[in-house]
Amino acid sequence: MKSETISAVVQQVAHAFADEPLLALTFARCYPNTLDTAVQWEEDGLPFVLTGDIPAMWLRDAVAQLWPYLPLCREDAGLRALVAGVIRVQTRQVLTDPYANAFNASPSGAGHAGDLPERHPLVWERKFELDSLCYPLRLAHGYWQQTADLEPLSGDFRDALHRTVEVMRSEQRHAELSAYRFHRPGPVPATDNLPNQGGGYPVAVTGLVWSAFRPSDDACALNYHIPGNMMAAVELGHLAELAGVLDEPELAIEALILSAEIRAGIERYGTVEHPEFGRMYAYETDGLGQHVLMDDANVPSLLAAPYLGYVAADDPTYLNTRRFVLSAANPYYVSGAFAQGVGSPHTPRGHVWPIGLAIAGLTAGTAVERRELLETLTRTTAGTGLMHESFHADDPQVFTREWFGWANGLFAELVLLQVRAIGKLGA
């Protein structure tokens, strides 16, 4: 799919960074990458967005890949049709199975064979990740803000809003109200399974929403994932806005109440007093007094809290958390000869994630810090001019996933933010 509007932005960025041709070239490859390589138009006329080198559509990744294009939807009819189409597709996906994280283009049954309980054939994988319910809300709300177009937010979309709130309500009392279980038979990594017959570890009732897996698709160590709950608190506010314009006042009120309960749960149960960093957010908790202190590059992350809209970038608790995340105290912070940043237990030790570097830039306090992170990102692509899932901090030629649309999209966002900061691109 080609877009003259996208091409015009690429030219603007090339002009803004005329003295940094490598950065401009990397942007020219990354920014249109999803349009050029990942969008499939199906027989029903709707788009399917591949995450990259996996033939499935993740709810999370698809939204993140399209997010940099949203401001252009006002003037580009093709991009507008694409995003509106993805909203319709994700509505269908959520209504098919609100606990699934990734879907097939058609009900082919492709995906992880043998997962229990048996998947719907449209589902690629049924790992319940709270953020998978949040990202479609983010896209729909962002699209509406940019275009004022309610057409893709009609019909089944209302049902998807109701279903989203119902699931989150159930997962506030997972042991009591939820039938969700997950088991992957065979010799698989522990991160692909849940304990207690697929039901997860014990948790207290806290107002937080239970999640089985992290945004990395790895199992939670404690099943209240704080970054996911941060995103849910924000996106439920967006859901309330959409419900209001769709004349669903009771749903709007319910979403706001649920959002407030989650926020209260985060601030009460999701914070700790660290002896070095002070009051900061934990990555996970069970509400019973246990906490996981770490951060993972996948978004939602603790580092991304301002990017997601949960707190301001100068919030004291966030700043304490940020200092922890970007230090050796975070077990998944990596420092090497070519880069230092947040990695993930999802990839080999010693690997930094471009997603983590981009989020550090998108939440940075200064243009100088953003520029340094952009320089790191552009010189660690192993000559491909594209972002990878991860790369070794001491040898960028060693990387995982050559084709990874989510990271390309976040890099593009960071570049566009930097160009706006130096006043060479319109808002």
**271 close to 199: Cβ distance less than 8 angstroms:** no
* 165 and 21 within one domain: no
Pairwise CA distance, residues 127 & 124, whole Å: 10
* 241 and 115 within one domain: yes
* 367 and 266 within one domain: no
Residues in the chain: 427
**121 close to 108: Cβ distance less than 8 angstroms:** yes
DSSP state of 70: G
**130 close to 209: Cβ distance less than 8 angstroms:** yes
State residue 399's pLDDT score: 98
Which of 270, 296, 324 is the endpoint of a domain? 324
* 41 and 26 within one domain: no
* 309 and 369 within one domain: no
362: three-class secondary structure by DSSP: helix
State residue 296's pLDDT score: 98
Pairwise CA distance, residues 319 & 167, whole Å: 32
| Average pLDDT rounded to a whole number, residues 219-238 | 98
Which of 324, 352, 377 is the endpoint of a domain? 324
State residue 53's pLDDT score: 86
State residue 423's pLDDT score: 78
Supply the mean pLDDT for the chain: 96
* 373 and 243 within one domain: no
Q: Is the pTM of this model over 0.85?
A: yes
**216 close to 129: Cβ distance less than 8 angstroms:** no
| Average pLDDT rounded to a whole number, residues 382-406 | 96
Pairwise CA distance, residues 339 & 395, whole Å: 9
- Estimate the crossing angle of helix 226-245 against helix 249-269, to 10 degrees: 160
Closest CA to 351 of 380, 385, 374: 380
* 339 and 201 within one domain: no
| Number of CB atoms found within 10 A of residue 176's CB | 8
Per-residue model confidence as pLDDT tens digits over 100-136: 999 999 999 999 889 999 999 999 999 999 999 999 9
**102 close to 125: Cβ distance less than 8 angstroms:** yes
State residue 113's pLDDT score: 86
In this prediction, what percent of the chain has a pLDDT beyond 70? Answer: 99
CATH number of the domain that 304 lies in? 1.50.10.10
**DSSP letter string, 137-150:** HHHHHHHHHHH---
Return phi, psi of residue 124, to 5°: -80, -45
Per-residue model confidence as pLDDT tens digits over 285-338: 999 999 999 999 999 999 999 999 999 999 999 999 999 999 999 999 999 999
Split into its structural domains, the chain has a count of 2
Residue 425: pLDDT over 70 = no
Which residue range(s) make up the domain with 369? 1-30+332-427
* 262 and 245 within one domain: yes
390 Cβ neighbours under 8 A, 6+ residues apart: 297, 343, 344, 347, 348, 351, 352, 353, 354, 399, 400, 401
* 360 and 248 within one domain: no
* 337 and 192 within one domain: no
DSSP state of 341: E
State residue 2's pLDDT score: 84
Q: Tell me the two tokens of residue 95.
A: 């209504």
* 421 and 371 within one domain: yes
* 406 and 257 within one domain: no
State residue 14's pLDDT score: 97
75: three-class secondary structure by DSSP: coil
Which of 293, 308, 324 is the endpoint of a domain? 324
Pairwise CA distance, residues 320 & 315, whole Å: 9
Cα 280 to its chain centre, rounded Å, is 21
Closest CA to 93 of 27, 52, 54, 47: 47
| Average pLDDT rounded to a whole number, residues 140-144 | 98
pLDDT band at 427 (very low <50, low <70, confident <90, very high): very low
